[in-house]
Amino acid sequence: MSRMRLFAALEVPEAIKYEINAWWQLAYPRLGPDLWRAVLPHQWHMTLAFYGDVSGRDADDLAEMLAVCADASPRLHLCLTGCGIFPQASRPRTFWAGVESLSADPALKHLARCCRRAGHVTVRNRTAREAPFRAHITLARANGHLPALLDLQALPPVPELNWQADHLCLFQSILHADGAQYRQLERFECRGAQRIPG
């Protein structure tokens, strides 16, 4: 049975990508472009849960549960907030722009938790054992091991941007020699029919 590498994510609106990219064109050269492999803007998204390799039958069950998650979630009001490094400054592997709810509304974290639980039930993927959810958009990945030399304060300020996320997507990640490519498999509207269980 064929298997697909899957994850659940929120898309980033094209207008927001344009504004982030304007900042990124100034920030990226200061990171040391030879040390980092930039993610192209058309690939930018915000991962809520990663499931790994999933069989076709399990993918159908997963999609059904994600539809329930989306139906229970209100539309999300999000904002760009700062930038950072994963897993930590002393071991830089991923450079990202942070995302938060525009207010103290916990709906984003609730949706991420629901997406992780969907993986536990359908594909037995224990995503909740990973690091606590930190909403972000991956902008670059390190080319090999990097020294801890990043001074984030030297980068231009991250722009103040906000937008509304009104749908959740199931994506396939297709690995190539030059990096992953993403294909949208399903799209689920956030209808806010009920509150996601905390």
Report the catalytic residues. 45, 136
For residue 61, what are the contacts with CB-CB under 8 A and spacing of at least 6? 122
CA pair distance 186, 62, nearest whole angstrom? 11
Strand order in the sheet with 36-38: 36-38, 136-142, 91-101, 76-88, 162-165
Q: Which residue has the tokens 């990640």?
A: 173
Dmax (CA) of the chain = 50
